[in-house]
Amino acid sequence: MAVPKGKVSKQRRNKRRSSVWKLSAPALVACTKCGALHMPHRMCPECGTYNGRQVKEIKSAVAEK
């Protein structure tokens, strides 16, 4: 039977596994209406549109003044 020759330290084990846990940056797309960056297939948090339709009314700080 195959038996490991010696104990693999935690540091050596973690070095081997380190590339698995790296997170990738989320993809961002520009809104067609206002140009703000948001995640794809989600409503734009700046203007409240999705797929060319107004889905949520957003109150802006400029409009209140």
Tell me whether residue 65 is in a domain.
Answer: yes
Tell me whether residue 4 is in a domain.
Answer: no
Kindly report, residue by residue over 23-50, the tens digit of the pLDDT: 788 899 999 999 999 999 999 999 999 9
Tell me whether residue 17 is in a domain.
Answer: no
pLDDT for 12: 93
Tell me whether residue 30 is in a domain.
Answer: yes
CA-CA distance, 28 to 45, in Å (whole number)?
13
Tell me whether residue 33 is in a domain.
Answer: yes
User: How many structural domains comprise the chain?
Assistant: 1
The answer to whether 4 and 12 are in contact (CB under 8 A) is: no
CA-CA distance, 37 to 11, in Å (whole number)?
39
Tell me whether residue 18 is in a domain.
Answer: no
End-to-end Cα spacing for the chain: 78
Rounded to two decimals, the pTM is 0.54
Tell me whether residue 42 is in a domain.
Answer: yes
Tell me whether residue 57 is in a domain.
Answer: yes
**DSSP states along 28-58:** -EE-TTT--EE-TTS--TTT-EETTEE-S--
Range of the domain at 52: 26-65
